[in-house]
Structure 1
Amino acid sequence: MSADPADRPLLTVRGVHRRFGSGPTAVHALRDVSFDLAAGTMVALIGRSGSGKTTLLNVIGGLDRPDSGTVLVDGADVTALDEDGLSRLRREKVSYVFQTFGLIPVLSAAENVGAPLRLARLPAAERERRVELLLELVGLADHAQQRPGELSGGQQQRVAIARALAASPRLLIADEPTGQLDAETGLSVMALLRGVVESEGVTALVSTHDPTMLALADRVIQINDGRLDEREAS
């Protein structure tokens, strides 16, 4: 009998290797990385600059392909998908939040959040309800009509998080989401992500360099020179 989908990990990474270059100058960014993430958890990924964090996130989200190994997101084999399949994965199952907010400057906060729903051809009334709900969730209901340039860095990152949640992804990948924010604002954004995991039922994998934010995570995974620290990953 096959396992109940409700019991399986939301994310499964097995034996992932990623190398850049060849010969003696090759950089082994990921070395036999394996771990599982349970659904509905917030997991912090830590490691110094160049340790392999961003490469791992890119492989999991289908932005890069491993040289070997497999990645399963909600039962979908990311490493076996073609470009159309990867595009569908990022529309339906995986969303990103980056250190650089990536908002469209000429659009309002509400329009930025609604952009993925417009691409998904969601009916206008349903789209507006979802956008309103998300802006309320991230504490920006009163800033719906403001453009990114009229918002603070922390507010822009909150809009980016709301946009990432628009299509109700199963997995939210955040790559140093507080990297451009001061400590207090960064902590509030991490607390928001913690709340999002609980209210939206999403699984969040968040890379961070700030140890003060680790207490908000259900679990901490450390990566050093492309290898996971097994004591942290267990």
Structure 2
Amino acid sequence: MTARPAGDEQGRPTAGTTAPLVTVEGVRKVYKSGPKEVVALRDVSFEAYPGELIAIRGRSGSGKTTLLNQIGGLDRPDAGRVVVAGHVVTELPETGLLELRRDVIGFVFQSFGLIPVLSAAENVGVPMRLSRTPAAERDERVRMLLSLVGLDKHVNQRPYELSGGQQQRVAIARALANRPKLLIADEPTGQLDSQTGRQIMQLLRALVRSEGVTALVATHDPALMTLADRVLQLHDGTLATADPLPAPA
């Protein structure tokens, strides 16, 4: 297993001594549609390292969401193995998966998934309420995270009072609430215009650096590829390429 250190002068991973945070080994997923079988993932293997932002690229139906679901413990593969932060995701019972998703992995979805009746601050605080974080600590982290994503003046606004880009920023802050080691983002810019989408990707890249997390971001937008440390290309469920580090944007 290849190891890498924290990063180079730009903060990007380079060859060295850091162990991978995520290891995917020979993952295969098949869905049945009547008498037919659809192979969503075909023996996919790769590693992701601490402080790395990896873009997973592919057309609709290429297997991006399916792959993220296996890594995040939202679904189980038919074959293969997934390890996240030392946890063998593919062997965890449901209680273990719930703890993993609460304490180790943060999720950001295309649809934002905010609770409409709650303010921005209250939405960000939900994961910490579930983990029973003390109120004073929770309130302080909510303030810090909303400031970090540039929404310190919108703490009391509800989702319908915010733009799409602002709602996604709240969703990102919420995903970081419990200090996850891994951030999984499935088409986080899919409902946003190109300029706002690029701002969200730039924010994710900055947060990977400042919060020290690893991020896996599924996207079909080639304009966003240069903001990633690496690009994984999925084609019909097969990992076609693992691109080298691009030049910084």
Normalising by structure 1, what TM-score?
Answer: 0.95
For residue 229 of structure 1, report the CA deviation from its aligned partner: 1.2
Q: Is contact 2:231–2:242 with CA below 8 Å preserved after alignment?
A: no
Higher helix proportion: 1
Q: Which amino acid letter does the alignment assign opposite residue 98 of structure 2?
A: S
Report the 3-state secondary structure (helix = DSSP H, G, I; strand = E; otherwise coil) of the residue aligned with 1:45.
Answer: strand
- Is residue 2:58 matched to residue 1:58? no
Q: In the aligned structure 2, how far is the partner of 1:52 from the partner of 1:117?
A: 31
Off by >2 Å, runs of 4+ in structure 1: 230-234
By relative contact order (CA 8 Å, sep 6+), the higher-ranking structure is 1
Q: Is contact 1:108–1:145 with CA below 8 Å preserved after alignment?
A: yes
Q: In the aligned structure 2, how far is the partner of 1:231 from the partner of 1:204?
A: 16
Q: Which amino acid letter does the alignment assign opposite residue 49 of structure 1?
A: S
1:11 to 22, 45, 61: 22
Q: In the aligned structure 2, how far is the partner of 1:170 from the partner of 1:176?
A: 19
Q: Is contact 1:222–1:233 with CA below 8 Å preserved after alignment?
A: no
Q: In the aligned structure 2, how far is the partner of 1:32 from the partner of 1:24?
A: 22
Report matched runs for 1:41-80 at 5 Å. Answer: 41-80=52-91
1:197 to 195, 208, 225: 208
Q: Which amino acid letter does the alignment assign opposite residue 224 of structure 2?
A: M
In structure 1, the residue matched to 2:148 is 137
In structure 2, the residue matched to 1:96 is 107
Q: Gapped runs of 5+ residues in structure 2?
A: 4-16
Q: Which amino acid letter does the alignment assign opposite residue 98 of structure 1?
A: F
For residue 183 of structure 1, report the CA deviation from its aligned partner: 0.4
Q: In the aligned structure 1, how far is the partner of 2:33 from the partner of 2:77?
A: 15
Q: 1:23 to 1:145 in 2, by over 3 A?
A: closer
The alignment-based identity, stated in percent, is 65
For residue 24 of structure 1, report the CA deviation from its aligned partner: 6.2
- Is residue 2:190 matched to residue 1:179? yes
Q: Gapped runs of 5+ residues in structure 1?
A: none
Normalising by structure 2, what TM-score?
Answer: 0.90
Report matched runs for 1:127-166 at 5 Å. Answer: 127-166=138-177
Q: In the aligned structure 2, how far is the partner of 1:147 from the partner of 1:9?
A: 38
Report the 3-state secondary structure (helix = DSSP H, G, I; strand = E; otherwise coil) of the residue aligned with 2:202.
Answer: helix
1:226 to 237, 241, 249: 237
Higher mean alpha-carbon deviation, 170-179 vs 24-33, is at 24-33
Q: CA RMSD in A?
A: 1.7
Give the number of aligned pairs. 231
Report the 3-state secondary structure (helix = DSSP H, G, I; strand = E; otherwise coil) of the residue aligned with 2:98.
Answer: helix
